[in-house]
Structures are given as structure tokens and as C-alpha cells.
Structure 1
Amino acid sequence: MTSPAVAARDATEADAELLLAWRNDPRARMASHATGVIGFEHHLHWLRGVLSDAARLLLVVEEVGVPVGTVRFDHEGAGEWEVSITLAPESRGRGLSRVVLAAGERLLAQRHEAVAVLAAVHRDNAASAALFEHSGYLEVAPAENGFRRLRKTLA
């Protein structure tokens, strides 16, 4: 599932406020491992660390030049990367999550020798579970600390 109007690009420090707003959105926080509100200075420190880390890939996905979501991949070793995805609050309900995830996966595969992508999905997050399951992710471990572990082998 792709759209020619959707493209992933590298996040930059100029995206800090946008990414923080999406991260601090109440629905995004409910699905996260860390559910508290993050302050700007803390977020900026985190963002700078991510942007300078070769074992992490942080992308902003845009639809016709308008940011609609973000995808982050963290290298877990042995060709495996853990994914985290956030849609802009105003982009939810438009069927964009699979397109955003696919755009991120394509860029990851182009840049790295990725064998598989892992996802941790909160057991109460039916929308994320459906996203990953419909995108080819399979459950590989029982829920732990409220999060299911899913895995997709990349072709």
C-alpha cells in the first residue's frame, strides 16, 4: 500500500516542536512505554542524540509536503530494528498509518541491511495491533509488561 504523494524524509532539529507536540498528544502517550508529558529541553536533548546515532533512524513522513507522521527505527542487532510510529493527531482516521509505516520500512531497507522489524504494541491499543498485523507482523512473544512483541521479516 503506497501513495505517490507520501514520502519519508530524515527528521531534523527543525522538527523538534512538531515531534514533541505529537509525542505529548494524550493518545500517543497512552500507547507509549513512557506516558508522562515531556518538556522541550528534555525532548531536544533526546532528539539531538537520536539524530547523531547511526543505530537509529528517525523519519518524518509527509503527504504532499505536509507532515502526517513519524517513524523511528532503533537497531537491535543482527539486522533487527525496532519500530515506533506516531501519526499526527489531525492525520488519524484517514487510513494513513499503513502508508506511513510502509514508507519508513522502504527507507530503512534502502539504507541498512535490515532483516526484520520488531514492534512492541500495548495490549489495549487495538488500532496499532491492527496496523502491524495487516502490515505482515506476527506475534513472536506473549505480552510482557502490557506490550505484545511482533516481528516482520523484510524481503
Structure 2
Amino acid sequence: MSSNLSSGNSVCLRVASLSDATRLLAWRNDPATRAASHHSGEIAFLDHLDWLQSSLAQPGRRRIWIAEKAGVPVGTCRADLRMDAQETTWELSWTVAPEARGQGVAHKMLTELLTTFDAHFIAQVKKDNLASIKVAQGLGFVLEREDNGVLLFAKNIGLFKVLD
């Protein structure tokens, strides 16, 4: 993934860093983001900072990117590793900056993210989060099931199995 941005409408991803903490927390605590999150409470800065430091220290288990458009941060996406004896699965989550919503940012940043993996992906989306449902479906994710108001979408890109 590119760390430099091209001009125009493209969205590029860069690896998140601690310097992104304030921005990520503001996006996470945005009321619309909280309503779409599985844990909708407001997050305190020190709790967020601890989470981010821990997350960045485990790139093999959690990867966080900042999406930028023309050099301006417009969203974030994350991949969390889920492993079982059969398969490696990456669970995706994403947030679009409030000022960048409605511009196709989520679709663009996730398209970029998906090109870097050869794996099985899942995304859990609340059933009333129509924007994220549309993004998941638009990227070719298939609805596998609903559990307590949460839709589980899945997508396979290649075959990535855990070796014994």
C-alpha cells in the first residue's frame, strides 16, 4: 500500500501511529460512529491511548491504517486476526471521518486493504447500519448469518490456511 498520495479521488492507506491517537479517538467518539459500534459508550483518552499502544505493538494480530485523500485523513480501517485450527480469518472494521461521509471513502479504503491479503475476511455489522451493509455487499462480502441484530458478512480472497 502506498504511503504517498496520488492526486484526485483516490484513497491511499498508511499504517497508523501514536500520532494519530487524538484523531482516531475523535472519530471513534463521534455519535454516529458510536451508534454503529458494538460498544457504543464514549471512550476516555487514556483508555484509548492504552488500546492504541497495545494494538500497534501487535502488527501480526491487529493492523490499523489511516485512509488519506489528497493528503487529508478521511477514515480508518482495522484488521484483527482470528485463528482456528482450519483457517486464518481477518475481521475488518472501519470508520469514516464525519466530514468525509457520503463520498465513497469506506469502499475505497477497504478495496485498498483487501488487495494486501490472501485470506478469509469477516465483517460484523449492526443490522441498522445501512451504509456499512452497502459497503460490505459492494465489496463482494456475503451475508452468512444474523446474531442478535448483528450481521456477519464473509469474503474469501485466495486460500490462506494455517500450516501445522
Taking structure 2 as the reference length, the TM-score comes to 0.85
Residue 38 of structure 1: how far off its partner (Å): 0.4
Q: Could you say which residue in structure 2 is the equivalent of 1:79?
A: 88
Q: In the alignment, is residue 6 of structure 1 matched against residue 15 of structure 2?
A: no
CA contact (8 A) 1:119 1:151 kept: yes
Tell me which protein shows more helix as a share of its residues: 1
Q: In the alignment, is residue 32 of structure 1 matched against residue 32 of structure 2?
A: no
Taking structure 1 as the reference length, the TM-score comes to 0.90
Question: What secondary structure, in the 3-state scheme, does the structure 2 residue paired with 1:36 have?
Answer: coil
CA contact (8 A) 2:127 2:151 kept: yes
Deviates more, 1:33-42 or 1:91-100: 91-100
What is the rounded CA distance, in whole Å, between the counterparts of 1:67 and 1:106 in structure 2? 20
Q: In the alignment, is residue 57 of structure 1 matched against residue 60 of structure 2?
A: no
What is the rounded CA distance, in whole Å, between the counterparts of 1:89 and 1:65 in structure 2? 17
Q: Which structure 1 residue ranges, 4+ long, deviate > 4 Å from structure 2?
A: none
What is the rounded CA distance, in whole Å, between the counterparts of 1:103 and 1:22 in structure 2? 20
What is the rounded CA distance, in whole Å, between the counterparts of 2:45 and 2:115 in structure 1? 30
Q: In the alignment, is residue 118 of structure 1 matched against residue 119 of structure 2?
A: no
Deviation per CA, 1:104-141, whole angstroms, max 9, x where unpaired? 2223x1xxxx4211000101111111110011000112
Task: Letter of the 1:86 partner, please give it.
Answer: T
The two structures, once aligned, show a CA RMSD in angstroms of 1.4
Which consecutive residues of structure 1, in runs of 5 or more, have no partner in the other structure?
none
CA contact (8 A) 2:64 2:79 kept: yes
Q: In the alignment, is residue 105 of structure 1 matched against residue 109 of structure 2?
A: no
Whichever of the two has the greater Rg, that structure is: 2
Q: Could you say which residue in structure 2 is the equivalent of 1:67?
A: 73
Which consecutive residues of structure 2, in runs of 5 or more, have no partner in the other structure?
159-164
CA contact (8 A) 1:56 1:75 kept: yes
